[in-house]
Amino acid sequence: MEFIDLKKQYSNYKSEIDEAIHKVLDHGKYIMGPEITELEEALSTFVGRKHCLTVSSGTDSLLMALMALEIGPGDEVITTPFTWISTAEVIKLVGATPVFVDIDPETYLIDVEQAEAAITNKTKAIIPVDLYGHLADYVLLEKIAKKYGVAIIQDAAQSFGASQDSNKSCSQGTISSTSFFPAKPFGCYGDGGAVFTDDDELARKMRAIRTHGGEKRHHHTLVGINGRFDTMQAAVLLAKLPHFKAEVKLRQKIADRYTRGLDVCCKTPVVLQGNEHVFGLYTIRTDCRDILQEAFKEKGIPCAIYYPKCLHEQPVFEDLGYRYGDFPHAEQAALELLSLPMHPWLNEEDQDQVIDCVLNCLATASV
């Protein structure tokens, strides 16, 4: 049983992926080849946003967003401590200060009320994280952003393919960012990501930042990075894109089946009204996680913890002055959440094995 079955995905689309890769090998334009523009146009249409720029990684997409917004020393950016480190490390990389607020205990997404309460005259942006494939409450977040004049940078690394009120993930915020890391719902075969915006000026700046700050060769107007997406990876995504909507539906079907089988014994994912979850990860909650993890190990069932430690517990953020206990909901979630095998080709036999293991283990643990 695979936690995420990329081999099965490749075997299903092998001829299309191979053809797309060989097309790049034939034309030899490995850097910023024609597939880059083709993919950006396709993704812009898919999301419903004016501009899409493919970039070198999800991390770099967040970094470029901050750079385009000219966020730096003396500025504050509000985000959640319950996420992968990229979300906050890019804030430090531009010289700004991460400000953490707790999560909602039901959805594990940023607590919007606490985010508003944390805004100061130094706040320049809020970075909500669409954890596990579920979008944060952008209706409220965008009202707050407008009220206080701050930017919203959507961290949609896990939510590409999801939607909120029929609006696709990556159509929210001032700038939205996603990742094409292989394990993501829509992944390539290496690192990659994208940024989306409707703002012409921000798009112009990010295009320059992506290529060392140059709008044309040998003329650099901004400090930038080498943030280009690889042509070969763009070809892979172009081959996968026609199948993506069907994959999302399969993920949701598998998630529904998990929920029907497991909500009697543990906390299953909450999907807010108006949201369509992409289930980049299917994550349950139990105070017997360590026992369950051991039971999975004995039966050869893969599982994973996202995330075992909050960001304010990481040594790199010690200078921010936070202590354990400052974010109780995030800290408790880090002790109790466990992600189960999830991919579009998870068959019912394997899924039943996972469900039975959870039911039997937690029934025994509760005796």
pLDDT band at 365 (very low <50, low <70, confident <90, very high): confident
How large is the average pLDDT for residues 318-335?
Answer: 98
How large is the average pLDDT for residues 98-106?
Answer: 98
pLDDT in tens, 253-272: 999 999 999 999 999 999 99
- Is the pLDDT at 367 greater than 60? The verdict is no
pLDDT in tens, 40-99: 999 999 999 999 999 999 999 999 999 999 999 999 999 999 999 999 999 999 999 999
For every residue of 221-260, DSSP letters joined together read: -S---B-BPBHHHHHHHHHHHHHHHHHHHHHHHHHHHHHH
pLDDT of residue 268: 98
Cα separation, 77 vs 100, in Å, equals 9
pLDDT of residue 187: 98
- 249 contacts 257 by C-beta, under 8 angstroms: no
How large is the average pLDDT for residues 88-112?
Answer: 98
- Is the pLDDT at 218 greater than 70? The verdict is yes
- Is the pLDDT at 169 greater than 60? The verdict is yes
How large is the average pLDDT for residues 316-323?
Answer: 97
- 151 contacts 141 by C-beta, under 8 angstroms: no
Cα dihedral 295→300→301→303 (10° resolution): 80
pLDDT band at 215 (very low <50, low <70, confident <90, very high): confident
pLDDT band at 216 (very low <50, low <70, confident <90, very high): confident
Residue located via tokens 């060392």: 212
Terminal-residue alpha carbon distance, the chain = 29
- Is the pLDDT at 191 greater than 80? The verdict is yes
Cross-strand bridge partners of residue 312: none
pLDDT of residue 217: 87
- Please give the helix or strand (H or E) that residue 177 lies within, else none: strand 175-179
Share of the chain above pLDDT 70, in %: 99
How large is the average pLDDT for residues 292-310?
Answer: 97
pLDDT in tens, 236-257: 999 999 999 999 999 999 999 9
